[in-house]
Amino acid sequence: MTGIDDVARALGVSTATVSRALRGLPGVSVATRGKVLAKAEELGYVASSSAAHLASGRTMAMGVLLPLIDRWYFSSALEGVDRALRAAGYDMVVFSLGGTGLNRDRVFHRSMLRKRIDALLVMCMELTPEELAALQQLDYPNVTIGGYVDGLRNVSIDDGGAATDAMEYLISLGHTRIGHVRGGGEYGIEFAVPKQREEAYRAALERHGLEARPQWLITGKFRVLESKLAAARLFDQPEERPTAVFASSDEMAFGVLLAAQERGIRVPEELSVIGIDDHEFAEPMGLTTLRQSPESQGSYAAELLLGELRGAPRLDTPPYQPHELIIRRSTAPPPSS
């Protein structure tokens, strides 16, 4: 493996000069820099990140901690983080909890503490007090994405606001019987978000003097299948159905759509459905939703940390990320009956 002194020797210069030239530091003549760059390219030399880390204190890598990868929000956000990091020459080290609570301590105690990263992004997960403390002791810059964690700053949309917008839209269409599919936390995942959205649902009902029937509030664990089953149970009740359902995520909205379809309940004529996300399936399925961009959120958060590593002042309360109502075919005024 070619090292820095292979380059230095081939050129008859010192390793210090090679190092400076390659990193674009001042104090190297144009001619020398040119020769160094050419020779490094020729020999295929790239500095070892470990050696560079040891000598400089910077790892040029950022960690991302998330509950699981295989979920729309997380994988999209990862994509955004990676994009920002790549542009800055940083590498991305991913720690997934794999959807279970197992190995949490391992991740926290071993991997994260291995001094392999310069900063850490935490994606919407609930942390135990010990984990939070561990994180804060880690002393490198950190930020959470997509879910408020007590004691840490957060990059996300205004969850309450987005949910309110969804409700106001349904109400403006004339709906008065509105149900809600709540996201459910598994493994301490996404705890704050579903709560905020549910509260906005309740508040909207109350503000407009609408009824909040407990039977109309169901739980879908942020997944299609669970949501479909829950919606099916709701529809199969003898009781009066809601004319609209606000789902806390698009995937859960799809579940409602599918349950309705199986029962021959026509959307939007008999039932309106609105979600949050603008998932990839939302357009082909015609779902009205509140769009958010996890990818932008990811890259925003990554850039925030990159900036601070470069010495920018710390931003204590990042601004809310944008959300936007996208009207499609799943919503309409309630049946006139």
Which residue from 9, 10, 22, 79 is in contact with DNA, where contact means CB under 7 A? 22
The site partner of 224 among DNA, its own copies, none (C-beta below 5 to 8 Å per kind) is its own copies
19 scored as a contact of DNA (CB under 7 A) = yes
**What's the rounded Cα separation, in Å, for the pair 160 and 162?**
6
193 scored as a contact of its own copies (CB under 8 A) = no
Which residue from 9, 34, 48, 113 is in contact with DNA, where contact means CB under 7 A? 48
The site partner of 212 among its own copies, DNA, none (C-beta below 5 to 8 Å per kind) is none
Stretch that binds DNA, among 42-50, 152-160, 183-191, 315-323 (CB under 7 A): 42-50
3 scored as a contact of DNA (CB under 7 A) = yes
79 scored as a contact of its own copies (CB under 8 A) = yes
The count of chain residues that interact with DNA, using the rule CB under 7 A, is 30
Nearer to DNA, 41 or 269 (CB): 41
CB of 18 to DNA, least distance (A): 7
Nearer to DNA, 27 or 238 (CB): 27
The site partner of 258 among DNA, its own copies, none (C-beta below 5 to 8 Å per kind) is its own copies
Q: 55: burial class by Cβ within 10 Å (0-12, 13-18, 19+)?
A: exposed
Which residue from 37, 42, 43, 45 is in contact with DNA, where contact means CB under 7 A? 45
Stretch that binds DNA, among 49-57, 89-97, 281-289, 303-311 (CB under 7 A): 49-57
CB of 148 to its own copies, least distance (A): 24
Residues 87-146 within binding reach of its own copies (CB under 8 A): 87, 89, 91-96, 98-99, 103, 106-107, 109-111, 113-116, 137
Measure CA of the first residue to CA of the last residue in the chain; give whole Å.
78
Residues at the site binding its own copies, with contacts judged by CB under 8 A: 1, 44, 46-51, 53-54, 59, 61, 68-72, 74-76, 78-79, 82-83, 86-87, 89, 91-96, 98-99, 103, 106-107, 109-111, 113-116, 137, 223-225, 228, 254-255, 258, 261, 280-281, 283-285, 295
